[in-house]
Each structure stands twice: as C-alpha cells, then as structure tokens.
Chain A
C-alpha cells in the first residue's frame, strides 16, 4: 500500500507537492514529474467546489475540485439539488480503492 492510500485509510488526504517548482503532483507520486526532485506531502484542507455532478439511483456523484486544483470523483451528499461551484467538505477512506465523499456546506 502506498503512503497516499495508507493516509486515506486514516481519513487524511495528502497532497503531493514539489517545493522546487511549486507544483502539485496529481495523481500523487514521490518524484516530481517536472523537475524529478523528491516531492513532499501536505494535508488537504478537505474543502472543495462542485465542477459537475450527476446521479445514480438516489446518490449524487460528481467531479469536485479541492486544494491546488486537484479534481476527484466522489459521492455528494446534499439535501437539495447540488449546484455548480457549490462549496463542499471532503471526507476520505480507502478499502480496495480510494473513496472520496463530499457534503454540501451550509446544507
């Protein structure tokens, strides 16, 4: 299991960052894809905004942009129809794959 996956399991989304070129590496990798120096990790603030969404059965899912322009697909909890650009809070976990869940803020 990678460091990223292991941290997800503990509920932490770690962002992979290169201090040399001020660049985020996503999907995460220990070596920067631009300068090939070692990257560093910093914790996400777990906040994002909805880029697009749809619904399967009764569950909303969508593309959400979190810190450093990182985009992930996850489920979205909302009492009403989500909106593009709406602020969401993220929680994460890991079973066989990463799981990203979002809840609309000020629901």
Chain B
C-alpha cells in the first residue's frame, strides 16, 4: 500500500449562521487549496464530501465550483463520524493507487437532519441524543462513582481550550460552577454538558507519498486506521462501555505499530461530557474508574493533551465537518503550528470520531 499524507487544510468558523451547504463546502475547500503551494485545481483527482445534509450531488457541485474535474467524486454520510469516514475513504483510494491527490470537504448547516435516527424504533418517543446521553451518564456515575463535578470539569476544560481556537463556536470561558449550575436538561445532563449542533465546514487535502513530497514541506502521515460498527440501534450496546471505540482503537494501534502510551495528543468525540470519560478509557489512556481523576488532573495542570481545540463541547458539532476538524487539529499539533494550543513534543496523535451513542467508531493515528 502507498503511504498517504495530509498536506493541506481549511476551515470556516463554526457558528449558528444560516449559510447553505454549497457555500460552506466551497469556503473551506477554497482555503484548503490556498494552504498548499504548488497545487491547483487541476492537480486534484478526487473530491469527497462529508455531510448529513439532504442536498444531492454535492461532490459534483463542489468540484464544479472549485474548477475541478475529478476522476472520483461522491458524498459520504455516517452521522456524526461522516468526516473521518470520508478521510478513510480518500486514504483507501490513494493507498490503492487509484488516485494521488484528494480533497475531502465536510460541512453541515445549523438545521441539519443528522440528530435523529428515524429508523431506530427502540428509542420510542425518546429519539433525541440527550436521552441516550442521560442513560450513559447515569450508568457511569452508578458504576464508577463518577461525580457531577468530574463531568463538569470535562466541559470547563474544553470550553477553556476552545478560547484559543479561532474557528470554535464558543470562545467563552465556563467555570466548573457555571457548568454545574447551567440549565438542567435531564436529571443527569446540564446544557453545558452537551455539544451544540451548528453550521461549519472543514476541508483537508490528502496526497500520495510522491505527491506529498512535491507539494508539502511538512506532510503528516496517516499511520493507523480502525473502524468498527456494532449496530445502528442504541439498545444493542451495553451502557458502561463503547465497544466500537475499543475495537477500532486496537485495530488502529496495530496498523500503526504503536500502543496507547505512545499517544501524545488526541481529539476525542465529546458529544456529551460523559463521552470524553468513556472514550479515553476505551482508547486505553486510563481505566474507567480513574477517568474523572485523569481529566481533573489535565484541567488543573492546563495540560491540553485531550481535545486541544476544545472538543465538540467547546468547538461546536457541525456533524459532517467534525471529524475533519479534529484531524486538522491533530495535523497542526504534529506540525508544531497550534500556537497557544500547542502540546510540546507532539509526534503521534489520535482522532476518535463516533456516531449514534457510540454504535460506530472511527480512529486514526497520525505521525509527523
């Protein structure tokens, strides 16, 4: 298999602006191509679009507006992890030799239809994600004695880190007390424990090793990939674990020939506070019963190892763009270009993106 590198990126600010999907895709794609020297529209052989939007033929529309006539173009939808799955598809096209340079663009409008999975009859009238998140939170508190304060620290930490992310939805600091006293959504969830669906777009350019060395001074390599889907319906999962994340992480570690202890920086899918605690455990960074303590320690020492761009809670969650934005952050960390968010000596980074209560997870390991 050919090696695949990330060689360029572009993002819009995540917001509640009511832009249409085509405009959003174009805006970050244009920035993405401008970020790469010696590469223009004619060099791009593939255009993949990641979104939950109902608009059709977006791969072709984006190609036409960007002046690209690609060999490969189509859309990819996998709810909240559409973004990483689009990157994994682009990786596959390049590593197999079918393509050399692919643009992957993800976007969502503020009123996207990706919040609810109509097919899942097991959710009954409780179809919104806050209900499964309440079940996971209550169960985590019950099984691992996780406190409301430990959950609030996840949100306070990620809001704080998002302040240094110019593309984040939220640039407001939130104290632990503010999180704990924010509007109660259910007995186990506060509004500041929840990521916000918003509009935004992120794009990334992938290239084969030969092309990457021609057009980039600092390519970042995709070394490991893991994807696992357990089910689509929420009620197949046990509440105390995210099995899909554990399996996908192990696949990615094996492919990258690393262990969890080698991860210097990670973007994890904190759709709700409890998801960050569960994810870092399933990734093998800490045991479940110590996850609250681990995040408290990160917060107290201002260690940005987990979710340096602010995670979904701080940065916002435009579903189709999220996985791409996470990947852009880890790329920039490994290039040493994350300014105030920069982790020192970051050489190996991980992206964790998941869908529908963790029924499906995607993991990527990047190295510089």
Query: What 0/1 readout, one digit per residue, does chain B (105-135) give for beta carbons within 8 Å of chain A?
Result: 0000000000000011111111100011011
Cβ A54 vs Cβ B121 within 8 A? no
A27: nearest residue on chain B (CB-CB)? B121
Cβ B121 vs Cβ A53 within 8 A? no
A95: nearest residue on chain B (CB-CB)? B125
Report the tally of A-B residue pairs with Cβ distances under 8 A: 73
A65: nearest residue on chain B (CB-CB)? B235
Residues 88 to 107 of chain A near chain B (Cβ within 8 Å): 97-100
Question: Of B127, B186, B233, which contacts A55 at CB under 8 A?
Answer: B186
Cβ B138 vs Cβ A52 within 8 A? yes
Docked Cα-Cα span, A48 to B90, in Å, equals 46
Docked Cα-Cα span, A98 to B125, in Å, equals 6
Closest 7 CB pairs of A and B: A71-B235, A55-B187, A54-B134, A73-B126, A27-B121, A100-B124, A56-B186
A28 at the interface (CB under 8 A from B): yes
Q: A26-B233, A61-B131 given as contacts; is B124 within 8 A of A53 (CB)?
A: no
Chain B residues near A74: list those with CB within 8 A: 124-126
Cβ B138 vs Cβ A54 within 8 A? yes
Query: What 0/1 readout, one digit per residue, does chain B (203-236) give for beta carbons within 8 Å of chain A?
Result: 0000000000000000000000000000001110
10 A-B residue pairings within 8 Å (CB atoms): A4-B121, A26-B122, A27-B120, A54-B137, A54-B138, A56-B134, A56-B185, A72-B121, A74-B125, A98-B121
Cβ A97 vs Cβ B239 within 8 A? no
Chain B residues near A27: list those with CB within 8 A: 119-122, 233
Cβ A52 vs Cβ B185 within 8 A? no
| Size category, A interface | 20 to 34
Cβ B235 vs Cβ A97 within 8 A? no
Docked Cα-Cα span, A22 to B233, in Å, equals 21
| Size category, B interface | 20 to 34
A60: nearest residue on chain B (CB-CB)? B187
Docked Cα-Cα span, A71 to B139, in Å, equals 15
Cβ B125 vs Cβ A97 within 8 A? yes
A97: nearest residue on chain B (CB-CB)? B125
Chain B residues near A70: list those with CB within 8 A: 122, 235
Chain B residues near A31: list those with CB within 8 A: none
Cβ B139 vs Cβ A72 within 8 A? no
Query: What 0/1 readout, one digit per residue, does chain A (5-46) give for beta carbons within 8 Å of chain B?
Result: 000000000000000000000111000000000000000000
A-B contacts besides A61-B126, A73-B124, A97-B124, 13 pairs, CB < 8 Å: A26-B122, A54-B135, A54-B138, A54-B188, A54-B189, A55-B186, A55-B187, A56-B187, A63-B135, A72-B124, A73-B132, A74-B124, A97-B125
